[in-house]
Structure 1
Amino acid sequence: MSDEKPGDARPPAIDTGTAHPARIWNYWLGGKDNYPIDREIGDQTLAVYPEIVDLARQQRAFLGRVVRHLAGEAGVRQFLDIGTGLPTADNTHEVAQRIAPESRIVYVDNDPLVLVHARALLTSTPEGATDYIDSDLRDPERIVTEAARTLDFTRPIAITMLGVLIFISDDDEAAAIMKHLVDALPPGSYLALTHTTNAVHGARTDEAVRVWNEGGSVPMVVRSPEMIEGFFGGLELLDPGLGPLTRWRPDGPAGEAVDEFCAVGKKPQG
């Protein structure tokens, strides 16, 4: 894991021979920040699960809805975006600061290519702030410590983790990471999480995951809705609770159910 910061003169080393989730996701979203190996694995996954492109777009739409709600109705002014991925339209800071210019946002990722693009993420309104942490989800203590340079952990913070916990294959480790992060949050904070399941498409989703894992990218796992809900231990789920991300407060008619479940939980007072 690199300790380089966005302002370092040395460009980080980028492995173009190994597929990486952020770059595959970028390919599915129609971006250009990907390499032949990423497109190869992306196409192999598409062959068995063509809905993945729509799912990727729906996940971005969910992020926008969540941040608009939290910055607007909930009045949150601090966001910790873990597993940022490559920048695209309506990143977390853009959505939040459009509503509340004083919002402060910290992005976290461990992909060197995301670090290259960090300057695009680090724009901010004069009233607010953004920062970027080059760190791994497996080191939640470091994430919290470094985020505290920008965020005030005595005031509510919203953590967003979209499609990142799937890369922690050990259930106990995943639960410990989530507990560490939630324990660090003050009352009134929020957690927005999405995670792949196979509750909707069953064997088709399992086959897509098999293709992904055999392709050499970072291995991922699916979990049951019950296991996903367990990551919200001690939090109060906002309506409509846990379910397909297409069904979480859609702007229009709810889309077809997908095998990416989501929920938003609030840390109660006291």
Structure 2
Amino acid sequence: MTGLDPGSPEYPAACAGLSRTVTELDAHLIDCRACPRLVAWREEVATVKRPGFRDWEYWARPVPGFGPADAPVLLVGLAPAANGGNRTGRMFTGDPSGDLLFATLHELGVASQPTSIDRGDGLELCGVRITAAVHCAPPDNRPTTAERDRCRTWLARELELLDPGPVAVGVLGGFAWQALLPVLAATGWRLPAPRPTFGHGMEVILTQPLSGRQLRVFGSYHPSRRNISTRIVTPAMLREVLRRVLVAGGVVSE
């Protein structure tokens, strides 16, 4: 689309900068091959496949954000799951984390249905957009620092293109928290000093000095299978943080 090599390390920054809408950004993003380790892993998973998904044609590409571009609430996760978003092509879709997340969003009144199975299942979000710090499934759910930083340009540009922009952000997990805060600082938001550390239920209010806008950022433990099974986070704990985020964004009432 742009004449740039999708496998070049410069592709994310160059194509993110060329994008003028969220739709354009997503179109550039899904062609990205800038991280060789992530490309090899996502394609290997799509070839080997989990036994229960033998009949699936895996997406096996970077997974774009999901939800309206004018949403006042943004949820930010770590990365697509190898046999979840990497299979279905939609954030938090097809894995236990997504099962709980979308069921909770439906219960709170912002998802049109309680399940998210694949890109064509008719699910719609109201007032909420979901994205991630890293858009390709990483081995062992652990992107490298270089992969995180290279992918960061997509997230930064997404934040710039969302119109009129989120007023509340829910961050799912410590990795996403650490990835997001530098992006917010680089896009004009003033962070408290010292930089706030991640914690479940944490809330930070950021300001934009030039515009006077405020952004409320909330932390939640990631609803991974491991965190749920060990009760690091429970469905009730996740629901309460998501409710606070949605109230802060004006999407639901108290």
TM-score bracket for the superposition, by shorter chain length:
0.3 to 0.5
TM-score normalized by the length of structure 1: 0.34
Q: Which has the higher strand share?
A: 1
TM-score normalized by the length of structure 2: 0.36
